[in-house]
Structure 1
Amino acid sequence: MTSTQLRLLAVFSIGYFVSYLFRGVNLGFAPFLIHDLRLSATDLGTLTSLYFLGFAGAQIPVGVLLDRFGARRVTACTMLIAAAGALIFSSAGSLGAMMVGRFLIGVGVSACLGGAFKATAQHFAVGQLTFVNGIVMAAGGLGGVAVGAPLSWLLSIAGWRSVGAGLAVLTAVAAAAIWIGAPSAREAHPQTSLVDQFKGTWHVLSSRAFWKLAAFSGLTQSVFYAMQSLWVGAFLRDVSLRNFSLAGADAAAAGARAATLVSLLGAAFIAGNLGFGALARALERRGVSVYLSSGVTMLLFVAVQAMIAARVPLPDAVLWAAYGALGGTGILTYAVLAEHFPARLLGRVNTSFTLVIFLAIFALQIAIGAALGRWPVRDGHYPAAAHQTVWAVLVAMQIAAAVWYFVPAVRMRAAAAANMKV
């Protein structure tokens, strides 16, 4: 890699790391928010999901802005909105104000992923994108590690409001790093009108090829992130570690073990993004398409979910490491989409795909909270059957999407050729 490419990877990876921190920080904040504001499961799910709603709602305009003004300027400027949202969230005295802050955080980091992928697509060869994008995702995965044991430790010595204010400062610093350190790239068609830019987005969203590629991947990723950013903690406490608690361990010990497993999941996510990205590239050189290798790894992820829900007698560390390693493999679809659409549309293609994922996360986090709320709470725990029912429904949905993904599509090449002409 050249020094310019390394600098680009570094600053955009920092931005996505911050985005990922905000995504999962409520996993550690949850007990304090429930205690301070007396939130129900539905309240907590709704509050947390507003990040994803803000993120998703900004994707279409952000995609247009990325293609018009470039990843450096758009990502750095929008992150300042996230910094303001973090300050509002951390200082809020009511649920309503916290919702506003959480929503603004989502809007503010909405360009971090699409901007990173737009930048890598402009500065790296297509054949390198599976590995390079895996590095960006791995950097984000460090945020998944940080919201486990490290965040649990930090909250033991500092209040959640202080941590939230610290995140606001970190976000502003990351924005400055992108503005100063990221290379600029000349956009191919800066003279195109905004109306035409939005027409390009509509072309992407109305493409059958886009939805065939995006449905299975989008669903697996939305399930993974909905769980990792909030509900995996409740599942660990109520199902995986329930027997551990009943065996005499106090609540603090059980919570520490849950936080450790969350960090393990995040570390496995990092390894999975790097490893499977490199594997996909190696297999592609041997004639195996990224489309196929990505589909197989996503199927394995669904199988691991089924094993966890069924409480297969394997060590928790093994199951949750597999869950983390396979959970992000759908990210390879970004590289597949880059082969089906022209470079001038990549900002809108990436953000359209991200829009699909984050709208699904928003819906799933609320739906999961509402579904769990239908069962009685006992000593702060939901019955194992409640979690298992939710997981079983999610597995069934993903299997249905997998069928469409793997059904032969004789018109895919023709659709791809048509997309390239737009």
Structure 2
Amino acid sequence: MTTAVALRVFLPFALGYFLSYLYRVVNAVIAPDLVADLGLDASTLGLLTAVFFLTFAAFQLPLGILLDHYGPRRVEAALLLFAAIGAVLFAIAPNTPVLIVARGLIGFGVSACLMAAFKAYVMWFPRERLALINGFQMMSGGLGALAATQPVELALGFTDWRGVFLILAGLTVVSAVMVYAVVPEHGGGRHPEAKISDTFAGVKEIFVSAQFWRVAPHCVMSQAVFTSVVSLWSGPWLRDVAGLQRDVVAHHLFWIAAAMIAGFLSWGLLAERLQRLFGVRPMTVAAVGMSGFMVVQATVAFELPVAHPSLTLMVWMAFGFFGTAGIVPFAALSQAFPAHLAGRVNTALNLLIFVMAFAAQWAVGLVIDLWPQTASGGYAPQGYQVAFAVMLALQVLALAWFVARRAVRI
């Protein structure tokens, strides 16, 4: 495989995932504008943002089948056009219900951006390189998260949030064209499962696998909490609990995204090197990283950054760095199943992650609304503390499950 071909495979999918993550995270920055324009309470803001994850998750199993049958190039290019339509609808939406529909359409449209890339990389790259190339793909998502922070805040000085989404719609169309026109066709893209029963037999094989269910709960809870907090509640927490002004919040979100980029690259590289040089299993690396993520969450839940304001940025950057360790299990599971099931393995895990991310993001808003708003119009710090503590407790249970089933090797 030449460098030119590798770049033709990687760069278009990287751009798609860049935009996917930008869409996912942008509400953390524009939340004050949405609240001011539409008068949203915490639970409605959570629902509006989280519906992205619901439609994203709902399409994961059909997506896996489509990826395994028709290849990642065609599937992602088509779906990105739906994301562009959703972005236009979001920009012109007159009320909250239309915004929710538009946000859901965006989630559906970008639902292939990570899984299509993972499928393409299984087809094109050696298995021992998957953790590394997956890390580079996730790094492109981190760049999208970074672009959704201070760059979006700067853009709001020239236009409003509606204008931002019109720009994103145009970029999404460009991304769709690039995926379709630049990514080369792979002769081994389809697997000869002619019957629909064979296709669903592959899905069943995954969901009855002891290997899958040893990994899934720990990975799902870690990534769901990470995704739901970074894509929305990190911004309001920095405003309401840490007491930071809007420009400082955008600055902190920028560095959280930068830490995510470092994390995506570091965990993938670390997993690849330790496996190749010392035979360390990728799930061992992932478990260590996700445990570190839980430690960082404990400091946030118990408001250590509030007691020591100088640590706020450091703690939240650690949140961004360790939260990315949950991506390593995708490479681990891809190596544990036949290559022709790669699309369905990844989308099965992604389905569970995004269903839980939807529930977690909305649930945090519901918990926060149990306390009255503060005199300044923000949300009560006690609500954040309870919500974050509950999410941490669920991850502790998932880790206990992973350790208890250590006899199942992966």
TM-score in terms of structure 1 length: 0.92
Deviation at 1:199, TM superposition (A): 2.7
Separation of aligned partners in 2, 1:408 and 1:59? 26
Does the aligned pair in 2 maintain the 1:67–1:187 contact within 8 Å? yes
Deviation at 1:408, TM superposition (A): 4.3
Partner amino acid, structure 1, of 2:262: A
Does the aligned pair in 1 maintain the 2:50–2:357 contact within 8 Å? yes
Aligned to 1:9: 10
Aligned to 1:370: 366
Greater mean alpha carbon deviation, residues 55-64 or residues 148-157 = 148-157
- 2:293 is equivalent to residue 291 of structure 1: no
Does the aligned pair in 2 maintain the 1:64–1:194 contact within 8 Å? no
Partner amino acid, structure 1, of 2:311: P
Partner amino acid, structure 1, of 2:118: F
User: Unmatched 5+ residue regions in structure 2?
Assistant: none
Deviation at 1:188, TM superposition (A): 4.4
- 2:317 is equivalent to residue 325 of structure 1: no
- 2:39 is equivalent to residue 48 of structure 1: no
Separation of aligned partners in 1, 2:8 and 2:312? 38
Greater mean alpha carbon deviation, residues 108-117 or residues 378-387 = 378-387
Aligned to 2:203: 201
Aligned to 1:382: 379
Aligned to 1:71: 72
Aligned to 1:337: 333
Separation of aligned partners in 2, 1:59 and 1:116? 14
Aligned to 2:259: 268
Partner amino acid, structure 1, of 2:274: L
Q: Secondary structure at the match of 1:376?
A: coil
CA deviation profile, 1:140-193 (whole Å, cap 9, x unmatched):
001111111111111121011111111111111000000011122233424522
Q: Secondary structure at the match of 1:157?
A: coil
CA deviation profile, 1:82-108 (whole Å, cap 9, x unmatched):
111111111111211111111111111
Does the aligned pair in 2 maintain the 1:11–1:178 contact within 8 Å? yes
Deviation at 1:196, TM superposition (A): 2.2
Deviation at 1:307, TM superposition (A): 1.2
Deviation at 1:407, TM superposition (A): 2.4
Does the aligned pair in 2 maintain the 1:68–1:187 contact within 8 Å? yes
TM-score in terms of structure 2 length: 0.95
Aligned to 1:131: 132
CA deviation profile, 1:242-279 (whole Å, cap 9, x unmatched):
2x5xxxxxxxxx11111111110001000111112111
Stretches of 4+ aligned residues off by more than 3 angstroms? none
Partner amino acid, structure 2, of 1:400: L
Deviation at 1:381, TM superposition (A): 1.9
User: Unmatched 5+ residue regions in structure 1?
Assistant: 245-253, 417-422
Partner amino acid, structure 2, of 1:393: V
Aligned to 1:307: 299
Deviation at 1:58, TM superposition (A): 0.6
Q: Secondary structure at the match of 1:183?
A: coil
Q: Secondary structure at the match of 1:228?
A: helix
Percent identity over the alignment? 40
Does the aligned pair in 1 maintain the 2:136–2:264 contact within 8 Å? yes
Aligned to 1:148: 149
Q: Secondary structure at the match of 1:187?
A: coil
Greater mean alpha carbon deviation, residues 383-392 or residues 348-357 = 383-392
Aligned to 1:393: 390
Separation of aligned partners in 1, 2:16 and 2:320? 21
Partner amino acid, structure 2, of 1:267: A
Separation of aligned partners in 1, 2:37 and 2:72? 39
Counterparts in 2 of 1:159-238, with a 5 A limit? 159-185=160-186, 186-238=188-240
Deviation at 1:2, TM superposition (A): 2.4
Aligned to 1:247: none
Separation of aligned partners in 1, 2:405 and 2:386? 32
Separation of aligned partners in 2, 1:189 and 1:142? 33
Superposed CA RMSD in Å reads: 1.4
- 2:397 is equivalent to residue 406 of structure 1: no
Partner amino acid, structure 2, of 1:358: F
Separation of aligned partners in 2, 1:337 and 1:264? 31
Separation of aligned partners in 1, 2:303 and 2:347? 36
